[in-house]
């Protein structure tokens, strides 16, 4: 009865967060009294069309309010092994001492403030912690607070960010070994000859049943008309691609024109949709077949369900992307992918990169089902519980506010 009573109050909430009533959270029992940041280091090399990550420094962030806590994660820096996590984490300091309600209202005000001192990524991880906290306080899954209602499992998207064909071949075999070969993504580099070789290799190794996505990170620059760019995309489709994410820097009108010209290749707009409140305004029917919700770039998880509903009215689909995440945020984004009925989710825990983190996990709602897809037994908040003593042992630095 108490759970039903709480859910019934959700429709009476403040305009800044339509799915949640803050009445219960604006008191001293729900003050954010501790903030912790764990620095988690990774030395896996990742190649992009614009450069290379040789190492990266992740931040696992925890907000505590009394007996409850919320987790989030973001990439704090790349190619910066000397990162000072204390200096990096100063943007979190104002939230200590706020109630959960005050913190939500603060980042909502920041969202519409042109002079905001918070980055989109910072806003997003703060909100992620707060949603986890609010859900645990109310004993309601965070996806319910976000009014996300789907429950079907979602395929994981295995991502290969390499340009060496031998390395790509070995990573394809790893995807097969891990039963993550139904949906595989390859980085492309704006070099038609190289990109075609990658597409051909991928299709030959994975077979006809796999969905093969490429991401060029807007790497195709040497074109003077949409028709010319379309011919390149058609070549890549014939070489094995099913979908192409961000082939070039395009206007909305050019996206629409290009998608018409390259059917059945599916275009996947990503960069134009960032942050979510911008993408929600500018997204148009026909500018892609699949729209990417890109972690660390959406700014607000609260905009995702309205955005998903708009996209589905186009008869288009949704994917959840990645920001090379390895820890708590994978659990969050997998639940969001399930909740909005995404075609696939790229934000999945990664072999080697996530191993040390996973040794700290006491429990989490997300798991891989018998099909190898990502599923969830939803728990209050985002449901993650970690062994923090173990986490402190494996992290180089810990910051406490």
Q: Where are the alpha helices (DSSP H) in 323-363?
A: 328-340, 355-358
Return the closest-CA partner of residue 187 out of 167, 209, 217, 165: 217
- pLDDT tens readout for residues 66-75: 999 999 999 9
Percent composition of the chain: helix, strand, coil (DSSP 3-state, to 5): 40, 20, 40
Q: What is the mean pLDDT of residues 280-308?
A: 96
- Say yes or no to pLDDT of 23 above 50: no
Give pLDDT, residue 108.
83
In tens, the pLDDT along 217-261 reads 999 999 999 999 999 999 999 999 999 999 999 999 999 999 999
End-to-end alpha-carbon separation of the chain, Å? 37
For residue 20, pLDDT over 60 is answered with no
Q: What is the pLDDT at residue 43?
A: 87
Over residues 38-64, the mean pLDDT reads: 86
The residue among 15 and 359 whose pLDDT is bigger is 359
3-state secondary structure 12-59: HCCCCCCCCCCHHHCCHHHECCEEEEEEEEECCCEEECCEEECCEEEE
The fraction of the chain above a pLDDT of 90, given in percent, is: 82
Q: Is 215 a residue whose pLDDT tops 60?
A: yes
What pLDDT was estimated at residue 22?
47
Residue 51 pLDDT level (bands cut at 50, 70, 90)? confident
Give the 3-state DSSP-derived string for 257-318, with helices as H, strands as E and coil as C.
HHHHHHCCCEEECCHHHCCHHHHHHHCCCCCCCEEEECCCCCCCHHHHHHHHHHHHHCCCEE
Whether the per-residue pLDDT at 10 is higher than 60: the answer is: no
Mean predicted confidence (pLDDT) in 176-202: 96
Q: Which residue carries 């909100």 as its tokens?
A: 127
Answer for the pair 6, 138: CB distance below 8 angstroms, yes or no.
yes
Question: CA torsion, points 268, 271, 275, 278, in degrees to nearest 10?
Answer: -80
pLDDT tens digits along 76-127: 998 889 999 999 999 999 999 999 989 998 998 666 655 568 999 999 999 9
The predicted structure's pLDDT at residue 111 = 64
What are the tens digits of pLDDT across the range 326-339? 999 999 999 999 99
Instruction: Match 């990742």 to its residue by tokens.
Output: 46
Q: Which residues, listed in sequence order, are joined to residue 361 by a DSSP beta bridge?
A: 386
pLDDT over 90 (residue 399): no
Query: What's the pLDDT band for 153 if we cut at 50, 70, 90?
Result: very high
How confident is the model over 201-214, as pLDDT tens digits? 999 999 999 999 99
Nearest to 190 by CA among 224, 160, 226, 219: 219
């Amino acid at each position: 009865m108490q759970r039903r009573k709480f859910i019934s109050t959700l429709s009476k909430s403040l305009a800044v967060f339509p799915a949640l009533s803050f009445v219960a959270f604006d008191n001293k029992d729900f003050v954010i009294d501790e903030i912790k940041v764990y620095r988690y280091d990774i030395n896996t090399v990742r190649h992009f069309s614009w450069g290379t990550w040789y190492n990266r420094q992740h931040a696992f962030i925890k907000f505590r309010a009394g007996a409850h806590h919320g987790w989030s994660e973001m990439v704090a820096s790349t190619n910066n092994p000397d990162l000072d996590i204390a200096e990096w984490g100063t943007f979190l300091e104002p939230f200590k001492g706020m109630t959960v309600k005050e913190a939500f209202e603060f980042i909502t005000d920041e969202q519409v403030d042109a002079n905001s001192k918070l980055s989109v990524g910072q806003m997003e991880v703060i909100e992620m912690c707060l949603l986890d906290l609010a859900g645990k306080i109310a004993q309601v899954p965070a996806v319910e607070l976000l009014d996300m209602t789907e429950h079907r499992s979602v395929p994981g998207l295995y991502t290969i960010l390499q340009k060496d064909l031998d390395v790509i071949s070995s990573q394809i075999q790893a995807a097969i070994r891990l039963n993550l070969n139904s949906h595989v993504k390859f980085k492309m580099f704006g070099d038609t000859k190289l990109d075609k070789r990658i597409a051909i290799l991928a299709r030959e190794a994975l077979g006809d049943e796999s969905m093969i996505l490429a991401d060029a990170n807007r790497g195709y620059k040497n074109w003077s008309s949409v028709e010319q760019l379309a011919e390149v995309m058609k070549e890549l489709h014939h070489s094995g691609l099913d979908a192409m994410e961000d082939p070039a820097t395009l206007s909305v009108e050019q996206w629409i024109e290009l998608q018409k010209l390259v059917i059945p290749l599916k275009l996947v707009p990503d960069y134009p949709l960032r942050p979510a409140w911008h993408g929600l305004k500018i997204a148009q029917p026909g500018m892609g077949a699949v729209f990417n919700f890109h972690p660390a770039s959406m700014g607000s998880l609260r905009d995702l369900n309205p955005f998903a509903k708009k996209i589905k009215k186009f008869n288009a689909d949704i994917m959840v992307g990645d920001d090379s995440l390895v820890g708590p945020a994978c659990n969050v984004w997998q639940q969001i992918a399930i909740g909005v009925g995404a075609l696939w989710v790229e934000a999945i825990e990664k072999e080697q990169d996530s191993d040390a983190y996973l040794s700290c996990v006491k429990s989490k709602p997300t798991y891989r089902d018998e099909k190898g897809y990502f599923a969830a037994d939803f728990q209050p908040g985002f449901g993650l519980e970690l062994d923090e003593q173990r986490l402190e042992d494996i992290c180089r630095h810990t910051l406490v506010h």
